[in-house]
Amino acid sequence: MVDFTRLEDINFAGKTAMVRVDFNVPVNDGGGISDDTRLRAAVPTIKALQDKGAKIILMSHFGRPKGKVEPTMSLGFLTAPLAELLGSPVAFADSCVGADAKAKAQDLTSGDVLLLENTRFHSEETDNDSGFAQALAALGDVFVHDAFSASHRAQASSEGIGRILPSCAGLSMARELDHLSQALEHPKSPVLAVVGGAKVSTKIDLLQNLVTKLDALAIGGGMANTFLAALGHDVGKSLCEHDLKPLALKIMDAAKKANCSVLLPVDVVVAKDFAAHAPHRVCGLDDVAPDEMILDAGNQTVEQLADAIDRAKTLIWNGPLGAFEMVPFDTATVEAAQYAGRRVKEAGLIAVAGGGDTVAALKHAGAADMFTFISTAGGAFLEWMEGKPLPGVEILKQT
């Protein structure tokens, strides 16, 4: 597992904990929270710190105000729903630095919670300005990073402050790191990854890193078309990055050298129109007409993937296998995801998934709750999978 400082490694009694959370919550047309998952994710760490006798100051960004005060992007509306989840009051400072933040921080007693205003109201936040990080650090004694989703960018509230204060991972961050480490860094073999999505160009680094660490890699979605075309198959008018065919062959060659099997579709679902319920058919790889597009994997491909899942002890999933937003082109994604979920329960498969489209696809399939762990971190999850160091994680590592 990743060796990093945890909450239990630090004595918080009488200290002020500066906690980086991700409260960049989705809102509805009326300005209210449409999904409080991110608030709930922070509650265990906040409660643990309260139990430890800490004073708690929460930091987060919200939206993209680009360094200016935007009233519609204020975090003030979150104090009431957060207080309800905690069962205790939450104070609010109208800035994350300055006189009001200092005064309210000084007024805190053990167990109190203070939420600071949107850190991105200051351009120094995204610049990772050392002076701004110092101003944040001056409010507390210990930095607790509990927002894995914000760990892939070196910003003042997620990395800069960690260079100044003693730092540790919050419970949500620790859980994420433990599961990702279990899946990719110290996995139970054989390891299978399912990587789908629209374009190879968005996942070049991911694919190049994974083939050196896996026993098998299943490629689906629109990106599979580029690999099929590189192998000489006519993909009709399917989404395909023909200019990346040499790269696709290079990735397959690297996989072969690393003894990683690459699984591509063996049959496909095609249609002439990109629309839900469009007339469609299942065909072989060499039977795609010039006016047809590949929108999903066929039954034989799903069976091939199910066999690979049966052989695996660890599964990493990123991206859908087809145009899952449109019925019936969600079939392969739904069937394969549900099968993987059943293997978690029946065979002890470790199944970890992440990425925006992935979470939506697994929820659509009714399989999200069946997986061992679902990361909602998006960009940070992908960069971890690509093997890139994450600034907000690096500062937590024990030396």
List, by residue number, the catalytic residues. 38, 199, 356, 379
Q: Contacts for 251-256 with beta carbons within 8 Å, 24 or more apart?
A: 251/207, 251/208, 251/211, 252/227, 254/208, 254/211, 254/212, 255/211, 255/217
Question: d(Cα 36, Cα 85) in Å, to the nearest integer?
Answer: 10
Contact 263, 304 (CB under 8 A): yes
Contact predicate 140/105, CB 8 Å? yes
* Residue 246 parent element (H or E): helix 245-257
CA distance 248 to 393: 31
Q: What are the structure tokens assigned to 114, written together?
A: 């203070």
Q: Compute the distance between CA of residue 175 and CA of residue 183 in angstroms, rounded to an integer.
A: 12
Residue type, 376: T
Q: How far apart are CA 294 and CA 285, in angstroms?
A: 10
